[in-house]
């Protein structure tokens, strides 16, 4: 389980775990169970998520976007 806090506009990425065959069918990816996302808490503009994913999937925080200061 991964427990993360995200602010409005921040992302979570879900993709294949390292070493997973990209040719697997969706049914094969989920033989270990479904992808489960629980909203654990929400407060002051932050949402805490608990994410449980089958082993072939990797859940990670998206890198923060860096603003250049220009529009």
pTM of the predicted protein model: 0.72
Domains of the chain: 2-61 (2.60.40)
3-class SS of residue 11: coil
37-49 confidence digits (pLDDT tens) = 999 999 998 999 9
DSSP state letters, 12-52: EEEEEPTT--TT--HHHHTTT---EEEEEEEETTEEEEEEE
Sequence-ordered list of residues with C-beta below 8 angstroms from that of 23, at least 6 positions apart, any chain: none
Burial (CB count within 10 angstroms: exposed 0-12, middle 13-18, buried 19+), residue 53:
buried
User: Could you report the per-residue pLDDT of 22-65, keeping only the tens digit for each?
Assistant: 999 989 989 989 999 999 999 998 999 999 999 999 998 887 66
């Amino acid at each position: 389980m991964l427990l993360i806090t995200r602010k409005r506009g921040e992302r979570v990425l879900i993709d294949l775990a390292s070493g997973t065959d990209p040719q697997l069918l969706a049914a094969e990816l989920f033989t270990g169970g479904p992808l489960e996302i629980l909203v654990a808490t929400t407060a002051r503009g932050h949402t805490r998520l608990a994410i449980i994913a089958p082993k072939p999937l990797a859940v990670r925080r998206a890198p923060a976007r860096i603003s250049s200061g220009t529009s």
